[in-house]
């Protein structure tokens, strides 16, 4: 879910910039400052969510607390995972987001391709550091980095000079960079409506900035404003470019005539700083809790040993136990300890298989005879002990052993008294599913520190009660896991039945869809045959034929003598048969005969557009069927 958190944080930062711009800066004529503010907003929205600070909180341990003998220090642990068959919403959201990103990336690539296709192999020339590209299409003048694209046939000479001056301002100030960055931000945050509004505001400010620069270079601001009004046409304009024509002409003219704002007004932008500080403090600060131990805790003799120095023989034990002990001693001398506090050979033999000693397998099976639990429990993969007599060389040995188990142990701030006893140490422990920090410092020798690393996390304790608590926690964990597995199995069966039912519904829908497509295909083929017959009839009568339907049994005929009243009547007649007939550019000669006509015929979503020009001669008869 980290990617969702990042996107939400990024959208939040961008929204802060947008709201401050809309309410405090948009009405000012400080266009350069506004441009820098909007650009900074995009960059900060991308980078700020990645910043993180750690706040350390020290907690004094309470030895009187019943849980004090088992102090979990892990800041991250692996939570109990239930077997669930509910919809994987995280995956669904990710794929929905990915579809949006891919769609907008393809759209962005298509616009770039269309732009390069438009200017490819077009006549161009350089003048005063600008590259001009001439095109013959009805297109709005625009700039893209160092290129200025225009159609010289669409403008008068005086107007063209002002248009090019406007585009030169875009090129000099590198406005194309702003547009590309805003479009890339749209791809990443396509789901955030404020991102689209942010890009629009950025584009408006760039136009204000170019207008302001152009107004200082032309001879008459009034003539430039008139050029803006005359140029506001609906000609084609590619995406990703700075275009001279924009739909907010009125707003641009108002900004041109607005008095210059005072520079100190831009200080309002500084409000973004406390807003960002509150954002960082609220969402980007992680708290780390470090426990300061209280008075040393004395460990009883019944405490299970954990490491270093296990003898290879036990008097009275059978040969199988002796072999196991010998293997353990030879393989892991750093994780065993002499078990000789009990004179009973049988108790010692039981102790070997009972107490937690790290083994080659992925987990250690523990059954505590002191607690008389009577069931095997998966609890600790690794148990390590550190006491006042632990030397730095022994710490290094423990560090190397843990590294072999995939666990990182870092230590520093070692303090020893005059007797060579350890009085202070700082530990940092991490595994695949957990990490811990532990600090202790004082004048007295440290009490025994037991580090237990398991699937449930990392724990540090200093009494035999830690084992009792760990066993109880592990038992509850197994009970919950079994219950979760049962619930998951039932849900899986239910989901399997639902999926089978949905599969049947989809098959029925697919069959209905195929039947509908077949019917439409048959209708289309019948229409094509009818249209071909209609065209053939028109050619035999030396007529041009406008296809408006599937039948040629009815219609109207237009010739050189058709009057305007007849054209209006034909339009009404065709409309009664479901045919939309529109005409324009009717030209006649001195005799009143039609010499030119353009009309459009549309029925059932099919449209035909025809232009008839006879170079001054009367037109031929034209048939429009319905």
Q: Does the residue 404 lie in any domain?
A: no
Quick check: 347 pLDDT over 90?
Answer: no
- Quick check: is 100 in a domain? yes
Alpha helix (H) ranges present in 21-129? Answer: 31-47, 89-119
Q: What angle do CA 88, 89, 91 make, to 5 degrees?
A: 70
DSSP code of residue 294: -
Tell whether the model's pLDDT for residue 181 goes beyond 90.
Answer: yes
Report the range out of 101-110, 341-350, 475-484 with the highest average pLDDT.
101-110
Provide the CB-side half-sphere exposure for 123 (13 A, CA): 7
Distance CA 260, CA 279 (A): 33
User: Which of 263, 282, 301 finishes a domain?
Assistant: 282
Edge-first strand listing for the sheet containing 594-603: 580-588, 594-603, 606-613
Q: 357 in a domain, yes or no?
A: no
pLDDT tens-place string over residues 290-324: 555 544 433 333 334 333 333 344 444 455 545 54
Residue 236 in domain:
yes
Average pLDDT over residues 589-598: 87
Domain end point (choices 282, 312, 341): 282
Residue 4's nearest CA partner among 189, 185, 181, 187 is 189
Of 361, 365, 483, 487, give the one whose Cα is nearest residue 86: 487
Flag whether 123 is in a domain: yes
Distance CA 432, CA 408 (A): 10
Write down the pTM of the prediction.
Answer: 0.45
Stretch 508-513: mean pLDDT, rounded?
A: 88
Q: Please give the pLDDT value at position 484.
A: 85
Do 346 and 316 meet the contact criterion of CB atoms below 8 Å apart? yes
Average pLDDT over the chain reads: 75
CB 438 within 8 A of CB 75: no
Query: Which range is least confidently modeled, 185-194, 463-472, 611-620?
Result: 463-472
Given a cut of 90, whether residue 253 has pLDDT beyond it is: no
Q: Is 561 helix (H, G, I), strand (E, B) or coil?
A: coil
R_g (Cα) of the chain, nearest Å: 41
How close are the terminal C-alpha atoms of the chain, in Å?
60
- Asked if 366 and 305 touch (Cβ cutoff 8 Å), the reply is no
Confidence bin at 516 (pLDDT 50/70/90): confident
3-state secondary structure of 464: coil
The full DSSP string for 53-81 is EEEEEEEE--TTSTTTTEEE--SB-----
Question: Has residue 274 got a pLDDT over 70?
Answer: yes
Domain presence at residue 271: yes
Collapsing DSSP to helix, strand or coil, 133 comes out as strand
Angstrom distances, CA of residue 199 to CA of 18, 80, 239: 10, 44, 13
Instruction: Tell me how far the alpha carbon of residue 51 is from its chain's centroid.
Output: 17
- Which of 89-98, 107-116, 283-292: highest mean pLDDT? 107-116
| 381 pLDDT tier (thresholds 50, 70, 90) | low
Domain hosting 546: range is 541-625
SS3 433: coil
Return the structure tokens found at 154: 């669409």
H-state helical runs in 189-316: 193-215, 221-231, 249-257, 272-283
Q: Pick the residue with more confidence: 277 or 58?
A: 277
Q: Rounded CA gap, 448 and 390, in Å?
A: 10
pLDDT band at 467 (very low <50, low <70, confident <90, very high): low
Q: How confident is the model at residue 412 (pLDDT cuts 50, 70, 90)?
A: confident
| Residue 221 in tokens | 């601001």
Distances (CA, A) of 20 to 41, 272, 279: 10, 7, 15
- Check residue 128 and give left, alpha or beta (phi > 0: left; psi -120 to 50: alpha): left
Q: How far apart are CA 215 and CA 73, in angstroms?
A: 67
Q: Is 162 exposed, middle or buried (0-12, 13-18, 19+ CB in 10 A)?
A: buried
Neighbours of 157 (CB within 10 A): 7
* Last residue within a domain, chosen from 257, 282, 307: 282
Q: Which two tokens stand for residue 19?
A: 């709201």
Q: For residue range 43-91, what is the model confidence (pLDDT) as tens digits?
A: 999 998 888 777 666 655 444 443 334 334 343 433 333 444 455 777 8
With b for 16 or more beta-carbon neighbours within 10 A and e for fewer, the 232-249 pattern comes to beeeeebebbbbbbbeee
Tally the domains of the chain: 2
User: What span, in angstroms and rounded, lies between the C-alpha atoms of 144 and 67?
Assistant: 69
Question: Which tokens sit at 22?
Answer: 């809309």
Residue 65 lies in a domain: no
Summarize the confidence of residues 206-215 as an average pLDDT.
Answer: 91
3-state secondary structure of 291: strand
pLDDT at 614 over 80: no
Angstrom distance (rounded) from CA 324 to CA 316: 14
Range from 121-125, 233-237, 480-484, 549-553 carrying the lowest mean pLDDT: 549-553
289 pLDDT above the threshold of 70: no
Asked whether residue 392 is assigned to any structural domain, the reply reads no
Residue ranges of the alpha helices (H) in 355-464? Answer: 392-404
CA dihedral 602, 603, 608, 614 (to 10 degrees): -70
CB contact burial 556-576 (16+ within 10 A = b; e otherwise): bebebebeeeebeebbebbee
Most confident of 10-19, 298-307, 490-499, 584-593: 10-19
């Amino acid at each position: 879910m980290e990617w969702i958190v990042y996107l939400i944080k990024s959208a939040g930062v961008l929204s802060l910039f947008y709201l401050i711009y809309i309410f405090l800066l948009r009405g000012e004529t400080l266009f350069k400052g506004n441009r820098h503010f909007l650009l900074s907003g995009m960059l900060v929205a991308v980078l700020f969510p990645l910043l993180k600070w750690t706040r350390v909180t020290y907690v004094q341990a309470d030895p009187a607390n019943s849980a004090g003998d088992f102090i979990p220090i892990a800041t991250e642990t692996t939570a109990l995972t239930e077997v669930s068959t509910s919809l994987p919403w995280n995956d669904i959201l990710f794929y929905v987001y990915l579809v949006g990103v891919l769609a907008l990336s393809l759209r962005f690539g298509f616009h770039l391709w269309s732009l390069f296709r438009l200017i490819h192999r077009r006549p161009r020339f350089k003048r005063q550091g600008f590259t001009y590209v001439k095109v013959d299409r009805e297109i709005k003048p625009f700039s893209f980095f160092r290129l200025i694209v225009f159609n010289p046939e669409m403008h008068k000479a005086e107007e063209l000079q002002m248009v090019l001056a406007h585009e030169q301002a875009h090129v000099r100030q590198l406005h194309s960079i702003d547009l590309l960055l805003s479009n890339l931000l749209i791809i990443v945050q396509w789901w955030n409506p404020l991102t689209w509004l942010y890009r629009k505001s950025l584009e408006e400010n760039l136009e204000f900035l170019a207008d302001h620069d152009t107004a200082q270079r032309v001879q008459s601001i009034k003539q430039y404003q008139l050029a803006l009004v005359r140029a506001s046409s609906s000609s084609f304009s590619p995406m990703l470019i700075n275009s001279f024509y924009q739909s907010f002409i009125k707003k641009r003219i108002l900004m041109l005539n607005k008095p210059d704002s005072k520079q100190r007004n831009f200080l309002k932008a500084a409000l973004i700083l406390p807003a960002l500080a509150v954002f960082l403090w609220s969402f980007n600060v992680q708290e780390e809790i470090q426990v300061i131990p209280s008075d040393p805790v004395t460990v009883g003799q019944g405490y299970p040993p954990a490491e270093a120095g296990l003898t290879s023989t036990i008097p009275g034990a059978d040969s199988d136990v002796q072999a196991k002990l010998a293997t353990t001693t030879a393989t892991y001398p750093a994780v065993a300890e002499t078990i000789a506090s009990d004179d009973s050979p049988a108790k010692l033999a039981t102790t070997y298989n009972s107490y937690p000693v790290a083994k080659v397998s992925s987990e250690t099976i523990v059954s505590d005879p002191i607690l008389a639990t009577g069931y095997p429990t998966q609890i600790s993969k690794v148990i390590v002990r550190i006491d006042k007599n632990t030397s730095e060389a022994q710490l290094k040995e423990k560090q190397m052993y843990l590294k072999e188990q995939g666990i990182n142990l870092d230590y520093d701030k070692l303090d020893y008294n005059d007797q060579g006893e350890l009085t202070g140490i700082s530990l940092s422990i991490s595994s695949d599913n957990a990490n811990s920090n532990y600090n202790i410092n004082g004048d007295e020798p440290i009490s025994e520190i037991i580090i237990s690393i398991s699937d449930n996390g990392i724990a540090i304790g200093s009494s035999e009660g830690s084992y009792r608590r760990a066993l109880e926690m592990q038992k509850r964990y197994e009970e919950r896991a079994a219950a979760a597995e049962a619930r998951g199995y039932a849900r899986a069966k239910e989901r399997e039945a639902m999926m089978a039912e949905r599969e049947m519904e989809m098959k029925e829908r697919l069959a209905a869809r195929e039947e509908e497509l077949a019917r439409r295909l048959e209708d289309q083929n019948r229409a094509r045959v009818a249209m071909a017959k209609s065209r053939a009839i028109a050619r035999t009568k030396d007529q041009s034929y406008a296809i408006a339907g599937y039948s040629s049994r009815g219609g109207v005929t237009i010739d050189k003598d058709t009057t305007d009243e007849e054209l209006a009547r034909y339009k009404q007649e065709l409309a009664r048969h479901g045919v939309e007939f529109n005409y324009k550019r009717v030209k006649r000669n001195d005799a009143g005969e039609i010499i030119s006509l353009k009309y459009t015929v549309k029925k059932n979503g099919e449209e035909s557009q025809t232009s008839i020009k006879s170079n001054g001669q009367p037109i031929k008869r034209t048939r429009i069927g319905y």
